[in-house]
Amino acid sequence: MPGPDLSWLNLGNDHALYQLSVPQLIEEAVRNGEGTLTSTGALAVDTGKFTGRSPKDRFIVLDDITRDAVWWGEINIRFSPADFDRLLQKVCAHLNQNKFYVRDAYACADKQYQTGIRVITETAYQNLFACNLFLRPEKADALQHPEWTIIAAPDFFADPGIDGTQQANFSILNFSRKIILIGGTGYTGEIKKGIFSVLNFILPEQHHTLSMHCSANVGAKGDTAIFFGLSGTGKTTLSADPERNLIGDDEHGWGDQSVFNFEGGCYAKCVDLTPEKEPEIYAAVKYGALLENINYFPHTREVDYSNIEKTENTRVAYPIHYINNAAVPSIAAVPKNIFFLTADAFGVLPPLSRLTRGQAMFHFISGYTAKVAGTEAGVTEPQVTFSACFGKAFLPLHPAKYAALLGEKMDKHQVNVWLVNTGWSGGAYGEGQRMKLSYTRALITAVLGGKLAGAKFTEHPVFGLLMPEACPGVPSEILNPRNTWADKNKYDLKTNELAKAFIENFGQFGELVTGEIWESIPKVVENTF
């Protein structure tokens, strides 16, 4: 297919392989030595030095659009427009030395928000990722100029002294030029999270639409559920549910009428994947899917999901229709239930609790969880974090903007909000165990099936959370986390420690503390359990 005119980037058209089919991309990847077909049919590649995102190398160009709107700081780091232009030229000169892959796609399943994307990648596997993860146009049109351009060159390395970056790798968003420039890293997560960050800037400001780091699915009665959570807390795993249609596993918008997926595919964690525990995802590992940083046995080429030699953040990227019961298009009604997933490394929070409106706002803004190993460079074991809106790393605006929109939407629609601890039980990380996936699933199924409507709830003395006393499929004794700790005194101490961490973190949002949030702040109780 004749390619688009890329002369505005000084990219030579004769080097471009445009809109290759999935089999063509796989063939290219294998011939380029990028990867191998495993016995599952899925292509396995290594992404190089980076097997996770590198948040400290993520920048936003300081310009008239971003200057007063972006929440600058540790998350959103400034980059100069002149440095960007120079670096862009260098990256394009690098790409011109060889062939590269160009793919047109779009983001946002709801037509009203549809955003065209042209993805230019140095490797075939990154282009396959873009094909799997973004929405696929029925017919590509090379003559159209899509709104955003993503350029990803893993083998281009910046010179920090000259190029204005921190290290050789970088991911830079330029809102004036509508370009995302990625170099020095082959981790494909940077590509999808680049566009996600763009939409997190545009949708709330320009469309009064809440953008969310969440998965979503919908039941037979049109009852939508959304699952907020930082990486590894279970968005992908828990949204794949044989009884419900999958809307998407990671990035959604909540407009006036609907919840819609930004993407056209899923990016699931593979560590310890088994057909028993996660049948839908296991079955999606087939021809066309892209496995990252996975080990396989050399002779049989069978995938070894338990092997984490390369990273704990092994991944598979597949188009959403690889999940049997995916909703097409990926749009559903506004949610009836919202779950906040937290992987509590303290082992303090209940496996499931119901939140008041004030608590919902408090926990959304707090975004307490543990960073699981692997998704971010340098994180090798669960690390306690407060990630506002359960996705701080991707939010160009101040968290209060997203929280205000959520509050408005909760007021307008009758929504139940639940906190789910998919993290530790029976002790903190190191002593307790990760919550059993089957229990978490049973708790969510009970909520969605209305089985807890008449349940009795106990209030947690410090966090004020309402814990069900019983739930089908779950031993009652685990529902109050204190019961799962052998040493109750230790639980009480750990609870207070966590409560203090919440209070301290919330200090930065002092101006947001309205009456109802004030009432929701955990109350440290010394020796009174």
Residues of this chain that bind ligand PEP (CB under 6 A): 53, 189, 193, 231-232, 235, 250, 267, 375
Identify the active-site residue in 118, 193, 252, 460: 193
236 is a catalytic site residue:
yes
Q: State which residue, 163 or 250, has the beta carbon closest to ligand PEP.
A: 250
231 is a catalytic site residue:
yes
CB of 49 to ligand PEP, least distance (A): 15
CB of 266 to Mn ion, least distance (A): 7
Which amino acid is located at 23 in the chain? P
86 is a catalytic site residue:
no
Q: Which tokens is 246 given?
A: 């999958």
Q: For strand 100-107 and strand 16-18, is the pairing parallel, antiparallel, or unpaired?
A: parallel
Show the CA angle centred on residue 415, arms to residues 261 and 455, nearest 5°. Answer: 125
Residue 481 is a binding residue for ligand ADP (CB under 6 A)? no
The 3 state secondary structure assigned to 243-286 is CCEEEECCCEEECCCEEEECCCEEEEECCCCCCCCCHHHHHHCC
Cross-strand partners of 457: 468
The interface mask with ligand ADP, positions 21-60, x = CB under 6 A, is ----------------------------------------
Q: Which of 236, 359, 375, 425 binds Mn ion (CB under 5 A)?
A: 236
CB of 250 to Mn ion, least distance (A): 5
Residue 238 is a binding residue for ligand ADP (CB under 6 A)? yes
Residue 31 burial (CB count, 10 A): 9
Q: Is 14 annotated as a binding residue?
A: no
Q: Is 56 annotated as a binding residue?
A: no
488 is a catalytic site residue:
no
Q: Which of 35, 146, 154, 232 binds ligand ADP (CB under 6 A)?
A: 232
Q: Which helix (H) or strand (E) holds 407?
A: helix 399-412
The 3 state secondary structure assigned to 186-202 is CCCHHHHHHHHHHHHHH
For 140, what's the count of Cα atoms within 13 Å in the CB-facing half-sphere?
Answer: 20
Chain-centroid distance of CA 400 in Å reads: 20
Applying CB under 5 A, the span of 203-211, 228-236, 323-331, 348-356 interacting with Mn ion comes to 228-236
Identify the active-site residue in 58, 192, 252, 315: 315
Identify the active-site residue in 38, 40, 53, 211: 53
The interface mask with Mn ion, positions 238-277, x = CB under 5 A, is ------------x---------------------------
Backbone angles phi, psi at 246, to 5 degrees: -80, 130
The Cα 271–Cα 294 span in angstroms is 9
Q: Which tokens is 377 given?
A: 């460079």
Identify the active-site residue in 213, 269, 401, 494: 213
Q: State which residue, 232 or 407, has the beta carbon closest to ligand PEP.
A: 232
H helical segments located in 122-267:
124-133, 160-163, 189-207, 235-239
Identify the active-site residue in 250, 353, 422, 495: 250
Residue 233 is a binding residue for Mn ion (CB under 5 A)? no
Residue 138 burial (CB count, 10 A): 4
Q: Do 22 and 128 touch, CB atoms closer than 8 A?
A: yes
Show the CA angle centred on residue 467, arms to residues 462 and 471, nearest 5°. Answer: 160
The Cα 56–Cα 88 span in angstroms is 19
Q: Is 33 annotated as a binding residue?
A: no
CB of 47 to ligand ADP, least distance (A): 17
Q: Is 318 annotated as a binding residue?
A: no
Q: Which tokens is 324 given?
A: 């049997």
Q: Which of 293, 440, 496, 520 binds ligand ADP (CB under 6 A)?
A: 440
What's the order of all strands across the beta sheet hosting 290-292?
A: 35-37, 43-45, 290-292, 315-319, 265-269
CB of 147 to Mn ion, least distance (A): 25
250 is a catalytic site residue:
yes
145 is a catalytic site residue:
no
Residue 352 is a binding residue for ligand ADP (CB under 6 A)? no
Residue 235 is a binding residue for ligand ADP (CB under 6 A)? yes
Q: State which residue, 172 or 271, has the beta carbon closest to ligand ADP.
A: 271
- Reduce the DSSP state of residue 171 to 3 states and report it: strand
Q: Which tokens is 84 given?
A: 């960007």
Identify the active-site residue in 66, 224, 231, 258: 231
Q: State which residue, 271 or 370, has the beta carbon closest to ligand ADP.
A: 271
CB of 93 to ligand ADP, least distance (A): 36
H helical segments located in 223-267:
235-239
Residue 54 is a binding residue for Mn ion (CB under 5 A)? no
Q: State which residue, 204 or 382, has the beta carbon closest to ligand ADP.
A: 382
The 3 state secondary structure assigned to 108-135 is CCCHHHCEEEEEEECCHHHHHHHHHHCE
- Reduce the DSSP state of residue 162 to 3 states and report it: helix
Q: Is 230 annotated as a binding residue?
A: yes
Q: Which of 237, 311, 342, 385 binds ligand ADP (CB under 6 A)?
A: 237
Q: State which residue, 294 or 361, has the beta carbon closest to Mn ion.
A: 294
The Cα 217–Cα 100 span in angstroms is 36
The Cα 307–Cα 293 span in angstroms is 10
Window 243-282: residues binding ligand ADP (CB under 6 A): 249, 268-269, 271, 278
In angstroms, what CA-CA distances link 131 with 119, 263, 272, 364?
9, 10, 26, 32
Q: Residue numbers of the site for ligand ADP (CB under 6 A)?
A: 229, 231-238, 249, 268-269, 271, 278, 422, 434-435, 437, 440
Active site residues: 53, 193, 213, 231, 235-236, 250, 315
Binding-site residue positions: 53, 187, 193, 213, 229-237, 250, 278, 315, 440
Binding-site residue positions for ATP: 193, 213, 229-237, 278, 315, 440
